[in-house]
Structure 1
Amino acid sequence: MMPTLRTRDKLLYGPADFGGNLVGVVGNTWLLYYLVNIAGLAPLLAGLAFLAGRLFDALVDPAIGALSDRLRNRRGRLWFTRVFAVPAGALFGALWLVPFAPEGGRFVLAALGFMALSALYSLATIPYLALGPELTPDSDERTGLNAYRLAFSMLATLVGVALPPLIVLGVTGARDLAASPPAGWVVVGVLSAVAASGALLVTGFGVREPGRGGARGEEGSAPPLTLRSVRELLGTFGLGPLLGAFLLITVALMVTNSILPFFLESVLRLPGALQAPLLGGLFLVAILGFGGWNVLSGRLGKRVGLLLGLGLMIVSLLLYVYAVPRGVVSPQLIGTIVLNGLGLAAVSLFPWAMLPDVLEFDELRSGVRREGLLYALLLLGLKAAGSLGVFSNALVTSLLGYVAGQATQSPETVRGIALMMGPVAAAVYLLALVFVWRYPITRENHARAREQLAARASPAPLAPGD
């Protein structure tokens, strides 16, 4: 068995996910809100700009993953992270300048910016994620590694969701976010870009990649990208149910993340000054919950842990809509935040911890390692699913007559926002639960797969007389 990863290794692996997720969270949570309320884009056009970036992403992600597999010996996985961290951050900061462009060109600039940003962040993050399974082959240790990584990711979510309102209100002196000038939001974009690029570089230069070469790592051993290789990989034992659950969880998360500012402001009627500490508490609970879920999965397994987490998410979202009083910070709200935070930790941790275990079953069948291609295909699907969640909210707010620049909305608009935050998102989580129930990989059959790979790699014993 490979030596246990040191705590230092796990800590240095995590910051890159802080960087990548900070951009994703600030973008998915606040950019839609910003483009609608501050830049003056119609909600439908703002959603289409997001969608354009993701569709372009779909064209390049598999090629980036396959390229990472082919160059992992000569360049290493983290070479991509070191090269593209700063350009990606610079472009993200520039996206917040859209309101200063002529009104007629704002949609085009936003769409082109999202397309370029998607490609640059794919180049910086797909090879990094593909490195995770190479750091350890042990199923339980992979859960621990992902717990560290996702703690950084959740910290980015906390920062990306909770701090922007404080920064905007502090910089501009505005009372309502919906009526704030763009200068405060530009500060948010620049600070997020600097923090994201710096975090990516910490991992890019700090993590020592395992020795390359040998039977699994010879240059050129990864096959070229073809439709056949993609179909073969997608047919790997256990990947179908996991991918279905992963995509549905992402849709639900993006629905709730992108509708959250609208929900807090117009449905729960909480002022911006109260939103930040409540959101901070939510993600702090999630960060603290990773350790408990890691221990629980060692006893009950990852699948059971994910099923429990999905149940908590369903219950908490329905409580937000139907049990939490409006306009006050009530005990019901605090309790719901705790349940939501614990569920959020589980649905964030376990799919990522389960994914690397698929690789050994793919290698048993194909004879090659395809971490880069697997993570590229996954991220392609996750980005498409996330865009669907954001676009659905943009479409709903447009159809329901959301009035930009106002915290108070019509009863019909309020009901529509509440519907997306509660019953719609809960229904998506319920469907994800069905997929997780069908997930077939266990600690035992994964261990057998590793044993078969080890036996295949061992040289045959010499016959007597040879």
Structure 2
Amino acid sequence: MPTTLSRRLRVGYATGGVATGSFGTVPGLLLLPYLTDTLGVAALLAGVVVFLPKALDVLLNPVTGRVSDRLAGTRGRRPFLLVGGLGLAVGFVLLFSGPVRPQPVAVAWVVVAFVLCAVAYSVFQVPFVALPAEITDDPHERTVLLTWRVAVLAVAILASGASASVLRDAVGGSAGYRVMAVVIGLLIALGALGAWAGTRGATGHPVPAPAGGLGRHLRLALGVHDFRVLLATYVLQALGIGCMLAAVDYLAREVLDRPGASTVLFVCFVGPALLVTPLWGRLADRAGKKRGYQLATVLLGLAAAGAVTAGRVPVVVVFVLAAMAGIGYAGCQLFPLAMLPDTAADDARRTGENRVGVLTGVWTAGETLGLALGPAVLAVLLAIGGYVSSRGDAVAQPPGALTAITLGFSVVPALLVAASLLTLRGHGRGPAPLTEETR
């Protein structure tokens, strides 16, 4: 295969970011507010509802990866993109389209629909993340490929996150959530179809899947030092970002007292990625991916910590801090996604065994766990702060709830990002991955 990938393949693969970006963003932004402020679910129970279905992916993703490894050499990974992507679109529409009364039925509907989404997301996401390690053997081309993907991902996150809040608020009530779900569901379907069609012919260089059970390959995958370090770093950051994004709607309504500011705040956080992602890509070529990742992490953490002043400084200051965090966030998306296929491909070369799907399965499981725990952490903070749930009515929140929201948007993410910076230091310092012969 030529070292330079075609523009069609780059764009086609990157289009899948529309599906992953939309689903990865909108439930994180609006599902917790939907439960607490439309269905009237208590904050702690709402956190459990948001967390448990996505936690299923922690068990499911490695299995999906192993199955896709077995099929990679014959049917390829593309059929997963089609089935998983369309199933995810349907599940997302159902998620916000259930009854609002009685509450037990409404909550059960959300749980079942979210489980469906979790299964479909696993079927799509794991093979999607595995593809770059097989499409090309050139680390530079992988960085370019992932730069395209992150750029499209940023557009998808911006478009879906901003439009979701606008559509919900324009229609209002539970009907607003239903209209929003249909529009975002269509975006997810288009992204999945684009990735499936755009990667046609991208057979790459898949290594034959080895014999042995899933447990064996999980042990070997977790025995890859750089993979463990990268995974721990990314999960900590996903947890912080998940908490931060879940707090956006609450921060705008309750702390800043500007309900419409949630869209502006979100755009400030995600918008810079459209401009700076190519710059982060250039930095990766010049200074190295690890060094660029460290710089992006520091910027994200400092900006998040500064946001603790929300409610006590002019709102424009909060917007600027969100934009600074967004610049760091763009790098924290690009660098690990570019480093992962390098690690997976290196493991395949050293061992002669195809564990790319297992590695990406564990990776996406960790990412999903972090993003699921983020809103759950915020829900716990809200419960501790005494947040008052409602069924669409305006409710005055106690000072403890306002403090909890602010901490969930600022200090908690900053501490998690700081911890991830410590784990990242270990990348590149471990022994070579072990094979069966060297064990």
User: Contact 2:134/2:204 (CA < 8 Å) preserved in 1?
Assistant: no
| Aligned residue type for 2:336 | P
Change (3 A) 1:27 1:309: same
1:319 match: 306
Q: 1:115, CA displacement in angstroms? A: 1.6
Q: 1:317, CA displacement in angstroms? A: 1.1
1:393 match: 378
| Aligned residue type for 1:280 | V
Q: 1:441, CA displacement in angstroms? A: 7.1
Q: Distance in 2 between matches of 1:290 and 1:91?
A: 30
1:113 match: 113
User: Contact 2:297/2:332 (CA < 8 Å) preserved in 1?
Assistant: yes
User: Contact 2:221/2:359 (CA < 8 Å) preserved in 1?
Assistant: yes
User: Contact 1:46/1:394 (CA < 8 Å) preserved in 2?
Assistant: yes
Q: Distance in 2 between matches of 1:83 and 1:252?
A: 31
User: Contact 1:135/1:210 (CA < 8 Å) preserved in 2?
Assistant: yes
Does 1:301 pair with 2:288?
A: yes
TM-score of the two chains, using structure 1 as the length reference = 0.87
Does 1:42 pair with 2:42?
A: yes
Does 1:410 pair with 2:398?
A: yes
TM-score of the two chains, using structure 2 as the length reference = 0.92
Change (3 A) 1:49 1:323: closer
Q: Distance in 2 between matches of 1:416 and 1:385?
A: 19
Change (3 A) 1:324 1:342: farther
Q: 1:51, CA displacement in angstroms? A: 2.1
Q: Which runs of 5+ in 2 are unaligned?
A: 434-439
1:461 match: none
> Deviations for 1:119-161, whole angstroms, at most 9, x for unmatched residues?
1111122112211111222222212211111111112221232
Which of 216, 221, 226 does residue 228 from structure 1 map onto?
A: 216
Q: Which runs of 5+ in 1 are unaligned?
A: 173-180, 450-466
315-324 vs 224-233, greater mean Cα deviation: 315-324
| Aligned residue type for 1:146 | L
> Deviations for 1:15-41, whole angstroms, at most 9, x for unmatched residues?
112112201211111111111111222
> Deviations for 1:319-368, whole angstroms, at most 9, x for unmatched residues?
22227755x543x3343233112111111111111111112332244221
> Deviations for 1:364-390, whole angstroms, at most 9, x for unmatched residues?
442212211111111111112222211
Identity of aligned residues (%): 27
1:193 match: 185
2:368 match: 383
Q: Secondary structure at the match of 2:361?
A: helix
Q: How does 1:146-165 map to 2 (within 5 A)?
A: 146-165=146-165
Q: Distance in 2 between matches of 1:398 and 1:125?
A: 32
Which of 260, 270, 281 does residue 248 from structure 2 map onto?
A: 260
Q: Distance in 2 between matches of 1:235 and 1:193?
A: 38
Q: Distance in 1 between matches of 2:155 and 2:78?
A: 22
User: Contact 1:39/1:98 (CA < 8 Å) preserved in 2?
Assistant: no
> Deviations for 1:429-460, whole angstroms, at most 9, x for unmatched residues?
00100111111079xx99xx9xxxxxxxxxxx
User: Contact 2:99/2:105 (CA < 8 Å) preserved in 1?
Assistant: no
The structure number with the bigger radius of gyration is 1
> Deviations for 1:225-261, whole angstroms, at most 9, x for unmatched residues?
3312111111114112111101111111111011111
249-258 vs 89-98, greater mean Cα deviation: 89-98
User: Contact 1:53/1:114 (CA < 8 Å) preserved in 2?
Assistant: yes
1:352 match: 337
User: Contact 1:41/1:106 (CA < 8 Å) preserved in 2?
Assistant: no
Q: Distance in 2 between matches of 1:357 and 1:422?
A: 32
Q: How many residues align?
A: 430
User: Contact 2:385/2:403 (CA < 8 Å) preserved in 1?
Assistant: no
1:283 match: 270
2:234 match: 246
427-436 vs 396-405, greater mean Cα deviation: 396-405
User: Contact 2:36/2:46 (CA < 8 Å) preserved in 1?
Assistant: yes
